[in-house]
């Protein structure tokens, strides 16, 4: 290997480490604040009666957990504090919950799209499926399915190596993992979101019910469609990287190519977390109603702080003068 290639490899590895050092912290801070505010907004009385809000709340909860499970361990690894490279069981559990939470956050946006499509239908029977009661049941069913079916292969395919690296055991496991991620997260769900969103738009245009169905919650529909656009946009790099990884997994690669692939993989992963950490800011930009609800929450919080603040009590001037006279007498 030439000195030039070694220098390039060292530089690429350095860039990968620096991305792990700074980008996760930014996403964790933005995502923590944003997802907590999302939950507070969509649980307010004006919004929580809408079934679409149930999916937004559930998605925000999964976004919160996916950020911490997916991003904090690579950051800790830079300082040799990553517990998942110390115990094989934690290695498996981390990937299991990482894949499950990011998949559920995607599914809940997809289910919100389905809910908006159902609510915009011209048929009363179909519209009846858009309810808070149905949404809560579907959320529970989705969690049970996702935590029991798609990613149990992680416990057989991932292992902690002698070099203290948590990774898949062989190329077959890597291919299986990529296929499952495509079907459950980065490939099929975004495609379905786009199709269902287009069908919803068609229903809304054909609808003459100005005060019911899909036109009743224009703000939520707008929020949903913007969220779908963001999710699809940032799912493309992950899909492309997984496709490339699957196509070249049986190809012998030079150390330089491996370093390039590692950097590309790291970039695609961190790009995918943009949609998990920025939903609050996207909603705030695109929806006036959402901004109003956020303002009311912040105002209530400010008033609560003011009420709980201890105010100094001023003595009447007359009492102070009287106290002074009494003091002089003694």
Q: Write down the architecture of domain 3-287 according to CATH.
A: Up-down Bundle (1.20)
Whether pLDDT at 171 is above 70: yes
User: Furthest-apart CA pair in the chain: how many Å?
Assistant: 100
Task: Determine the pLDDT at residue 207.
Answer: 67
Proportion of the chain above pLDDT 70, given as a percent: 90
- Structure token digits, residue 115: 């809910």
Q: Tell me how crowded residue 253 is: count the other CB atoms within 10 A of its CB.
A: 12
Whether pLDDT at 67 is above 70: yes
What is the average per-residue pLDDT within 177-197? 91
Task: Determine the pLDDT at residue 121.
Answer: 84
**Which SS3 state, helix, strand or coil, does residue 249 take?**
coil
Give which of 301, 241, 250, 309 is closest to 272, Cα–Cα.
241
What is the average per-residue pLDDT within 154-168? 85
- Structure token digits, residue 94: 């981390």
**Domain segments of the chain as ranges:** 3-287
**First-to-last CA distance in the chain?**
96
Give 106-134 pLDDT, tens digit per residue: 999 999 999 989 988 888 888 889 899 99
Give which of 131, 109, 129 is closest to 194, Cα–Cα.
109
From the centroid of its chain, how far is CA 187? Answer: 17
What is the average per-residue pLDDT within 306-312? 68
Whether pLDDT at 140 is above 70: yes
């Amino acid at each position: 290997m030439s000195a030039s290639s070694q220098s390039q490899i060292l530089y690429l590895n350095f860039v990968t480490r620096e991305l792990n050092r700074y980008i996760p912290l930014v996403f964790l801070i933005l995502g923590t604040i944003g997802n907590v505010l999302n939950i507070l907004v969509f649980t307010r009385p004006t919004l929580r009666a809408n079934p679409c809000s149930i999916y937004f709340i559930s998605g925000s909860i999964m976004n919160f957990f996916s950020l911490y499970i997916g991003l904090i361990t690579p950051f800790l690894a830079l300082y040799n504090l990553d517990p998942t490279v110390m115990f094989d069981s934690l290695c498996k559990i981390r990937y299991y919950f990482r894949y499950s939470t990011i998949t559920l956050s995607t599914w809940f946006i997809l289910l919100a799209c389905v809910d908006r499509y159902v609510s915009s239908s011209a048929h009363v029977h179909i519209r009846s499926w858009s309810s808070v009661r149905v949404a809560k049941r579907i959320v529970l069913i989705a969690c049970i399915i996702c935590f029991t079916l798609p990613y149990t292969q992680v416990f057989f395919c991932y292992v902690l190596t002698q070099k203290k690296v948590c990774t898949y055991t062989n190329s077959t496991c890597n291919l299986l993992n990529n296929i499952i991620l495509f079907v459950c997260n980065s490939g099929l769900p975004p495609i379905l979101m786009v199709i269902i969103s287009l069908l919803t738009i068609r229903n809304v245009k054909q609808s003459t019910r100005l005060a019911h169905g899909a036109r009743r919650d224009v703000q939520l529909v707008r929020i949903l469609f913007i969220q779908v656009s963001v999710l699809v946009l940032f799912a493309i790099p992950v899909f492309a990287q997984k496709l490339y990884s699957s196509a070249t997994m049986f190809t012998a690669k030079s150390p330089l190519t491996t370093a390039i692939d590692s950097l590309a993989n790291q970039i695609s992963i961190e790009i995918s977390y943009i949609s998990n950490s920025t939903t609050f800011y996207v909603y705030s930009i695109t929806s006036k109603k959402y901004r109003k609800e956020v303002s009311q929450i912040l105002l209530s919080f400010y008033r609560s702080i003011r009420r709980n603040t201890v105010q100094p009590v001023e003595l009447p001037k007359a009492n102070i003068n009287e106290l002074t006279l009494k003091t002089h007498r003694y």
